[in-house]
Structure 1
Amino acid sequence: MTIELLKVGHCFHPEAVVIRGGSWRAQQFPAIVALLKHPSQGYMLFDTGYAKHFIQATTPFPQRLYRWVTPMHLCDKENLLHQLAQRGIAPEDIKHIFISHFHADHIAGLLDFPQARYICSKVALQSVMQRSGIRGLLKGYLPALLPTDFSARVSFIEDCPARPLAVELAMFGAGYDVFGDGAYIAVALPGHAYGHYGLLCSQQQNTFFLIGDACWTQQALISATKPHPLASIILSDKTQYYDTIDKLARLYGVSQQLTIIPAHCQSSYDQFLCSQR
């Protein structure tokens, strides 16, 4: 099994919203996608990051507010399809896409993979379906980014076999074995969005914990720093989110064999690239 991290665009946001006490100047936050290769299931993506579809979906009002609050940039060389093509991977080679949650910066590329199967939380999908217009927008949802045949190609994390986690991960409850072979274990990381999940995956002797937006930066892991109260607007449950950050911070402090990767942390991305050289 292999894992590779790809930076698929970035957004601009005041650092102080993400890290309480930070600067109010706008900072870049990358959208990090994981390209996974399973020996029998083939290629799988963990999220898709940004795509040009995001621009189209945020052209009308009120959806345009999403783009105003978190302006995004995606150059051609960071386009996910371009990066995959450089590796000799065609869209149809992506067999599965694991969706950590349905915020637009994590699913904007779904439409580019018309043959992929989707793996997500049933709770997460229900949340999207139950919220439209302003109610959905306030929770970071852009339904226009979902393929029209999404329901025909989706399978749910909750239907996967439940597995006990290692001792240091036991505080997160049970995991869900995505392919039934122990290769990828989905772990509930609640609070940021309804049905938010991370993914445990291995490469040789290393184990990586892809945590999506369960926390935004490595700094939050080091110091258990909470975001500014303004960030609560988009959260599904602030209390759960803070509890998840605390658990991840404890895990970060004790685990020597596990690399935790937030989806928007430049430091984590840079350190991963260095470790692969």
Structure 2
Amino acid sequence: MNLQLLHVGHCFHPEAIITRGGAWKAQQFPAIVGLFRHPRLGYVLFDTGYAKRFLQATQPFPQRFYRWLTPMHLCDKQQLQTQLKDQGIASEDIRHIFISHFHADHIAGLLDFPHATYICSRSGLQSMRQRTGISALIKGYLKNLMPVDFEHRVRFIETSPEYQLPVDMAPFSKAYDIFNDGSFLAIELPGHAFGHFGLLTAIGGESVFLIGDACWTEKTLITASRPHPLANLVLSDTHQYYDTIDKLAQLYGYNQSIRIVPSHCMSSYERFCAHHH
């Protein structure tokens, strides 16, 4: 199996919100998408990053606040469909899209892939569907980014067979085997958003763990640092979020051979690309 990481737009955010003691000056945080090529299933995406329609979706009030809080930049050549087309991949070639969670910077491209099966957490979808208005906005949901036929094309992570993880994944012990062949193992990483999952895969003899927004940067893994209390507003559960960070920090400490990739970490992205070229 083969994996590329694609940089699909970025947002600007003060580092101090993500790591206590960081600078209040806005920094760039990339939206990272995983493009897998599975020998049997063809192309599988991990999230979709930003899309131009994020700007339409955040045009009206109160959605405009989302744009103010995390200003987004996406140049034409960074658009996911453009990057895929440059590699000769059409949108209908993407058969499956794994959704780590339903925040706008992870699902803004879903509408570009009308043929894909969506794989997500049932509780994540329910939580988004239940929230409306300001309560949806505070939790980072923009409903008009969702395809209308989503429910007809979804497969829930929780319906996949359970899988016992090897001891070198401690303190994580349980996963869901998405395609029942051990190739994609979904691991719950709760706290950042409802039904938030990461994906563990083996790429060329290396274990790669895409962890979505379980933490924002690699620095967090090394120091197990806490975000600014302001960040707690958007979290689904602060205690679970801290617990997940602690577990990831433990995994990082125990097993340096696993490559852990947070969805917004520029240094993880650059190192992965350098290593796999």
TM-score normalized by the length of structure 2: 0.99
- Report if aligned partners of 1:172, 1:188 keep a CA contact under 8 Å in 2: no
**How many Å apart are 1:156 and its aligned residue?**
0.2
Partner in structure 2 of residue 138 of structure 1: 138
Matches within 5 A, 1:190-209: 190-209=190-209
Runs of 4+ more than 3 Å apart? none
Matches within 5 A, 1:20-99: 20-99=20-99
Code of the aligned partner of 2:213? D
- Structure 1 residue runs without a partner (length 5+): none
**How many Å apart are 1:171 and its aligned residue?**
2.4
Residues 1:231 and 2:224 are matched in the alignment:
no
- Deviation string 1:79-130 (CA, Å, 9 cap, x unpaired) is 1001001111000000000000000000000000000000000000000000
**How many Å apart are 1:257 and its aligned residue?**
2.4
Residues 1:153 and 2:158 are matched in the alignment:
no
Partner in structure 2 of residue 4 of structure 1: 4
Give distance in 2, aligned partners of 1:242 and 1:182.
Answer: 28
Residues 1:276 and 2:276 are matched in the alignment:
yes
Give distance in 1, aligned partners of 2:222 and 2:87.
Answer: 34
SS in 2 for 1:13: strand
- Report if aligned partners of 1:214, 1:244 keep a CA contact under 8 Å in 2: yes
Code of the aligned partner of 1:259? R
Residues 1:122 and 2:122 are matched in the alignment:
yes
Give distance in 1, aligned partners of 2:50 and 2:43.
Answer: 19
Partner in structure 1 of residue 185 of structure 2: 185
- Structure 2 residue runs without a partner (length 5+): none
SS in 2 for 1:9: strand
Code of the aligned partner of 1:25? K
Partner in structure 2 of residue 246 of structure 1: 246
Give distance in 1, aligned partners of 2:55 and 2:256.
Answer: 41
TM-align CA RMSD: 0.7
Give distance in 2, aligned partners of 1:112 and 1:125.
Answer: 19
Partner in structure 2 of residue 262 of structure 1: 262
Partner in structure 2 of residue 174 of structure 1: 174
Partner in structure 2 of residue 213 of structure 1: 213
Give distance in 2, aligned partners of 1:272 and 1:117.
Answer: 27
Give distance in 2, aligned partners of 1:99 and 1:272.
Answer: 21
- Report if aligned partners of 2:171, 2:250 keep a CA contact under 8 Å in 1: no
SS in 2 for 1:172: coil
Matches within 5 A, 1:102-121: 102-121=102-121
SS in 1 for 2:215: coil
- Report if aligned partners of 2:167, 2:173 keep a CA contact under 8 Å in 1: no
SS in 2 for 1:241: helix
SS in 1 for 2:171: helix
- Report if aligned partners of 2:166, 2:173 keep a CA contact under 8 Å in 1: no
Code of the aligned partner of 1:101? H
